[in-house]
Structure 1
Amino acid sequence: MESRFGVVLVLILAAASSSAQKNCTCATNRRALCTEDTFGNCLCTLVGSNQRVNCSVLTSKCLLMKAEMSTPKGRSFFKPEHGFLDNDGVYNPDCEDSGIFKARQCNQTNTCWCVNSAGVRRTDKGDTTLRCNELVRTNWIFIELKHKERSKAFNASEVADGLRQIIQNRYKLQPKYITAIEYEYPFIHIDLKQNASQKSKGDVDIVDVAYYFEKDVKLDSIFHHSNAFNLSVNRDPLDVEGILIYYVDEKPPEFSMKRLTAGVIAVLAVVILTIITGIIVLVITRRRTGKYEKVEIKEMGEMRRGQNL
């Protein structure tokens, strides 16, 4: 009887241990690997950097990008030691110990550039001699959403209320940092503003909020799968088909003329060519006018000498 009781007790403990192990997940980051220590505490580290993460708050964008680059796409196998992916616009960032981006980022070809606190390039690219004196803060994030066509537009105030609740509740951003939510069918505009002087130690950063939100909208959520993303307006699904995020820094970006679009360059070229052509025409006209005046003066002199004779 006692042996049967012992077997049952072992099975119960094993089941409890298995259940606890399943519950040991990172609610705010599915790219974290979690294990229980001997005291039953769930400890989670991030893929790519092996850095300990606090699963009660959002993970920094820099560490998320590093984890994303280290996560195999579409398969469960680990990539070969010397394998690489051609991801234009995506890079494996260098992060500070605190999780923020380092001001200067470089790739494996020793091409370097300066980034803002959102990890977005704000200078032209250079070589390893490039110097980035500071990490310029992104203090304004402008988000533009476009939802699918529908029979009638949403109510603007309901759109604003619904999105405001999602941003506050899901990403834990304080209401004072959500400065505007505007709706004009089928576009939605969201403003997140947060100066360095406003942000306290416990506040989530608007950069991290925007990154989590973008991933949610693109159905590539960073949260654990149990924390489903439900974007709706008054229980009516808000089917987003496009998202654009603009970053505004405390200091203007430092792009050179090479950053100008082809259209702007073409317009400038036409304007400059027009000005040069005008100057050439003016010079030629003046020269011809001068020649005509000299001929007229010469002819008048000859006529006067003829009359005197």
Structure 2
Amino acid sequence: MESGQCRCDAIGSGAAVDCSTLTSKCLLMKAEVMGSKSGRREKPKDAFEDTDGLYDPECENSGAFKAKQCNGTTCWCVNTAGVRRTDKHDTDLKCNQLVRTTWIIIEMKHAERDTPLNAESLRKFFNETITSRYLLKGQYITNVLYEKPYITIDLKQNSLEKSPEDVDIADVAYYFEKDVKGQSIFHNSVGLNVSIDNEPVKLEKTVVYYVDEIAPEFSMKSLTPGLIAVIVVIVIAIVTAIVVLVLTRRRKGKYVKAEVKEMNEMHRGLNA
């Protein structure tokens, strides 16, 4: 800071902490738990992937996606990146606006290696590549994070910041993803050769997450079969436990009643 005091953001909470003194135990514990969950930064709760892949889109004359996309009698709403953000419905579906994607998270995983990459060299490589190869202004590259073996690039751009001449982060992410997968859209280009400190880096997996200015509208129908199966198993387990508990209590109640009846008969026999 201007005063010479150093401040940092605590992992997991984002709280600003004074680095020149001890951080509270609560914030430290939260940071440790967050770090142990996945080994890398967690995604925003409203971030979602493109699970549909390539389709034949309807475009405006400007080149933007139309808010409503259809495939025959099935329709859905998309964001400015053309990624589905609602469940699929029939043609009566209403998409009132084209919701803007303001934050794109590109997550890559490099192949196993003995030593980690140099974080500063990696940051410099991707910043220079994105600004020169894809013509995106540096102000829209808000973070290049390295958490071995994961590389995360944050692209942020809202409608107020973007001028008509600026390239869109959705277009940049699409070109970039194709490049790192060896499916370059550029003419006579085989893709992007990632080299850090003159050492080639092999990327094994690339995933793109989208965060819109308005949260997506997915329902339970959009859950994957695996997740649905887990939910069903949990529900069945809970119902079974309740049934077992009820039957156990009934049996116990019958046993107590029988025991009381026998005691009464014994008393009557003694009195006789």
Q: TM-score, normalised by structure 2?
A: 0.71
2:183–2:190: 8 Å Cα contact kept in structure 1?
A: no
Q: Which residue identity does 1:92 align to in structure 2?
A: D
The offset of 1:299, in angstroms, is: 2.4
| Aligned-pair CA distance for 1:185 | 4.2
- Contact persistence 2:182–2:190 (CA under 8 A): no
Aligned to 1:95: 59
1:167 maps to which of 122, 125, 130: 130
Unmatched segments (≥5 aa) in structure 2: 1-51
Counterpart CA distance in 2 for 1:151 and 1:300 is: 77
Q: 1:150 to 1:110 in 2, by over 3 A?
A: same
Write the distance in 2 (CA, Å) between the matches of 1:292 and 1:112.
Answer: 61
Per the TM alignment, residue 279 of structure 1 is displaced from its structure 2 partner at its CA by 1.0
Among residues 208, 211, 236, which one is paired with 2:171 in the alignment? 208
Q: Which runs of 5+ in 1 are unaligned?
A: 1-87
Provide the identity percentage.
59
The structural deviation recorded for 1:142 is 1.0
SS at match of 1:296: helix
State the structure with more CA Rg: 1
Structure 1 distance, partners of 2:220, 2:178, is 32
Per-residue Cα deviation, 1:78-122 (whole angstroms, up to 9, x for no partner): xxxxxxxxxx73211111222211111011x22111111111111
Quote the residue 1:296 is aligned against.
259
The one-letter code matched in structure 1 to 2:233 is V
Please state if 1:260 is matched with 2:239. Answer: no
User: Matches of 2:90 and 2:191 in 1, distance apart?
Assistant: 43
Q: Secondary structure at the match of 1:252?
A: coil
Partner residue in 1 for 2:105 = 142
Amino acid at match of 1:247: Y
- Corresponding letter in the other structure for 1:190: I
**Alpha carbon RMSD of aligned pairs, Å?**
2.6
Question: How far, CA to CA, are the matches of 1:184 and 1:308 in structure 2?
Answer: 84
Residue 106, structure 1, aligned to residue 70, structure 2: yes
1:226 offset after TM fit, Å?
8.4
How far apart are the structure 2 equivalents of 1:275 and 1:153? 46
- Structure with higher RCO (Cα < 8 A, 6+ apart): 2
> Which residue number in structure 2 is paired with residue 59 of structure 1?
none
Give the structure 2 partner of residue 191 of structure 1.
154
Matched letter for residue 166 of structure 1: T
Greater shift after overlay, 161-170 or 88-97? 88-97
2:232 alignment partner in structure 1: 269
Distance 1:115 1:102 in 2: 8
Contact 2:143 2:154 in 1 (8 A): yes
Paired residue secondary structure (2:205): strand
